[in-house]
Structure 1
């Protein structure tokens, strides 16, 4: 073989290898389509969610709706309220589905997250529960009340106690992150203890009463309509749960499709048929 032919062969081989490498890079780049009509890599979405009801709703979407929409959903369950946003910021998940607008606002202000929220999907009414009192009136003088320790839910819990007539927060603005020290009137001289939300149902017997978030109540086998002694109104609630993603992904067509599916007639019907006790209410 002549030197010219050898150089030509080596050049051709290198070119083919380069094309193969480039092809591999392109086929695995976000936002690019595969061959033969295959969906792009972005069609696979990893979504963080609380087990109940968020992961259950997502599982319905995955089983019944996602395939026709060209989306492959992986559900990652979380039992706390902090990690889902941290993991979203880190890029470990593509979106999360577990939080309310007031909680999200506080998280963004405290951590500088650049997140975008969709529209409200469902509402889980906050409830006051007790193993010692059968009504709000029966809560003992000086009783200890458990509250969720994250600032947004502490404030929401105090608002619930105010609605129940147990305390007054005076003229504090509705969106203020009120704390126990902001209580202006406390006729029963109640005491307040803040705990991690998921721990409260397990500790219910240690308190005169406890404010429990809907998802944690459901996970503990509590039925809000039957077991609570006072329940937050669901109608026109500002606490609808949202799908949240990084703002840099606002243009992701598959996240847009998932947001649409979560507000479909099928999902609304699923919520209404699955949670007949009123523990989960469609927000659309």
Structure 2
């Protein structure tokens, strides 16, 4: 008799646990801020994967590079997915954000495009190079130019954080224009406003440009400018965040990214920090 009661009690207890677990999963939601392309598309793709884990993913779209971090700090969202690591490091340093880098997800190759020349050997003295007004992109462009032998920065300066003032050798006397918002560089290219225009792959793809096919110069695929997922320190170990990262790094998602953008955007299966 006591054995039967024990079995009955255990069955009831297990039933309550199952209900509680299901209820928890059904009510778990995750708000993630993201740029439209490709971040939002990637998050939309993994929505079903998260749903199977009991997580409702809500994507909050941002068209600028300031509000996603501000919203995360103010706890309006749980994580964001829009920025590369140098931009993140600068933002954290300047604003004392209590954030956690959850690791790299993908990289959008930076290319230098031109309507005026087809090869770098055609660049003339005093040629203009247009880049974004985001300082975190300057070292990226300088790295591409230095690799091509067009400029050289001062000894001891790290390329990732270099600015145009750090250039000590510039044989062609290249002139740098850095007053344009990143999303407007495609328009500048189409209007032929400079000899070279530095455009990130996510924006280049909107006008059917491929960094590996259409650019005059392109950065190496092992660039440190991978786009990362960011949470706050206070929720960095939340189970929902872990599930999100796992879905983004899954082989299924990686294969889809490669296929969807034809190699213009590359997945990065990085380790969680």
Aligned-CA RMSD value: 2.0
Q: Which residue of 1 aligns with 2:104?
A: 120
**Is 1:100 equivalent to 2:87 in the alignment?**
no
**Offset at residue 43 of structure 1 (A):** 2.1
Question: Does the C-alpha gap of structure 1 residues 175 and 190 become closer, same or farther in structure 2, counting only changes over 3 Å?
Answer: closer
For 1:51 and 1:138, the matched residues in 2 are separated by 35
* C-alpha contact (below 8 Å) 1:123/1:240 kept by paired residues: yes
For 2:227 and 2:85, the matched residues in 1 are separated by 7
**Offset at residue 42 of structure 1 (A):** 6.9
**Is 1:72 equivalent to 2:59 in the alignment?**
no
Question: Does the C-alpha gap of structure 1 residues 103 and 274 become closer, same or farther in structure 2, counting only changes over 3 Å?
Answer: same
Q: Which residue of 2 aligns with 1:52?
A: 37
Structure number, greater radius of gyration: 1
For 1:248 and 1:42, the matched residues in 2 are separated by 20
Unmatched 5+ residue regions in structure 2?
Answer: 1-17
SS in 1 for 2:24: coil
SS in 2 for 1:262: helix
For 1:273 and 1:73, the matched residues in 2 are separated by 23
Aligned length: 249
For 1:162 and 1:259, the matched residues in 2 are separated by 34
* C-alpha contact (below 8 Å) 1:123/1:282 kept by paired residues: yes
Q: Which residue of 1 aligns with 2:245?
A: 259
Superposition TM-score, scaled by structure 2 size: 0.85
For 2:27 and 2:142, the matched residues in 1 are separated by 42
* C-alpha contact (below 8 Å) 2:143/2:160 kept by paired residues: no
For 2:77 and 2:21, the matched residues in 1 are separated by 28
**Is 1:199 equivalent to 2:199 in the alignment?**
no
SS in 2 for 1:48: strand
From 134, 137, 159, give the equivalent of 2:121.
137
Unmatched 5+ residue regions in structure 1?
Answer: 1-32
Higher strand share: 2
From 188, 199, 206, give the equivalent of 2:172.
188
